[in-house]
Amino acid sequence: MIDRLIDPSFLIMAVTAIAVFATVMTLVGPILSPDRFAGRLKSVANQRERLRRQNREQLAREAQRGLRKGESGGLMKNIVDNLNLMKLLEDPKLNDKLMQAGLRGQGPVVAFYFARFVAPIILGALTAAYLFFLNDFNQPPITRMCISVLALGAGYYLPGVWVKNLGQKRRDSIMGAFPDALDLLLICVESGMSVEAAFQKVATEVGATSIELAEELHLTTAELAYLQERRQAYENLAKRTNHPGVRSVATALIQAERYGTPVGSALRVMAKENRDLRIAAAEKKAAALPAKLTVPMIVFFLPVLFLVIMGPAFIRFQQM
């Protein structure tokens, strides 16, 4: 059975089967996936309830006690606390990265440190077992040991790469719908609605386009209602999205709140700038398209073209 598992043809067949299954699930998954918008709204409601609870605890001078009661337990948390992994594997920007990836609370922090501790061990052990016991690559032991150490390092950085990619996908989804949401926000403000009501309305309307942006706007609405300083709510929005366009809009709203300038004028300027940024990004992608199509054309189109052109001549030559 071990010989069967380490057979190169069996490994190629297994990888091909996994790739085909992943392709089928990628195509069928969006059709079978449930509606995530309701779940995200429930998460936002929980976040709003948490803000309300923190506000009440602060007024009652019992914030620290409430935070201790809200801590989650479990096997991962016990391992992280007993081994003091938050100190040994400390990442000073972890909270910001998790926030930008849409992961909030203490649970994702504990899961991240647990994964950073376990992933190198598992990946390094599997690599060493495969190199030393399951297959013979005719390589010296020092080479196999170096490959195992590289796998150990890759396992350490793997959770960080996953969180970074998750944050990048979330940011792309937000910025794809943000210019339209900003136009809707401008219309709501100029129609006489308050900033909180405008955020709430836009979050409801934009949910069909970008669930992530709707979630962020709902959170901003909750923070505007429960934080002592409205400036902090706008700064949190810019920090969670980590995009220059959203950061400029947050700065404009903060200045409008501080100096009493019309919010509609600031939003009109910001909406124009974000539309220009979206047009510039589209033009950049269009300009890079010929260079990206060069390799596919060489690999896929030119052989077929040569076959169509030279095929009849070769067949006639064979007949002659």
Domain limit, last residue, from 139, 173, 207: 173
In this predicted structure, the answer to whether residue 90 has a pLDDT above a threshold of 70 is: yes
> Would you say residue 291 lies in a domain?
no
Q: Which residue has the higher pLDDT, 66 or 128?
A: 128
Tell me the pTM: 0.63
| 134 is a domain residue | yes
Q: pLDDT value at position 291?
A: 85
Same domain, 109 and 194: no
* Mean pLDDT calculated for residue range 94-120: 84
Does 186 share its domain with 279?
A: yes
Domain that holds residue 6: 1-33
Per-residue pLDDT at 62: 43
- CB-based contacts of 26, cutoff 8 Å, min separation 6: none
Indicate the number of domains in the chain.
3
* Lowest pLDDT segment from 30-34, 68-72, 179-183: 68-72
Cα–Cα distance for residue pair 131/139, rounded to 1 Å? 9
pLDDT surpasses 80 at 237: yes
pLDDT at 281 over 60: yes
276 and 211 in a common domain: yes
How many other C-beta atoms are found inside a 10 Å radius of the C-beta of residue 214? 24
> Is 207 within the bounds of a domain?
yes
> Going by C-beta distance under 8 Å and a sequence separation of 6 or more, which residues neighbour residue 11?
none
Residues 163 and 186 both lie in one domain = no
Contact 252, 266 (CB under 8 A): yes
Same-domain status, 120 and 92: yes
For the cut 60, the answer to whether the pLDDT of residue 61 exceeds it is: no
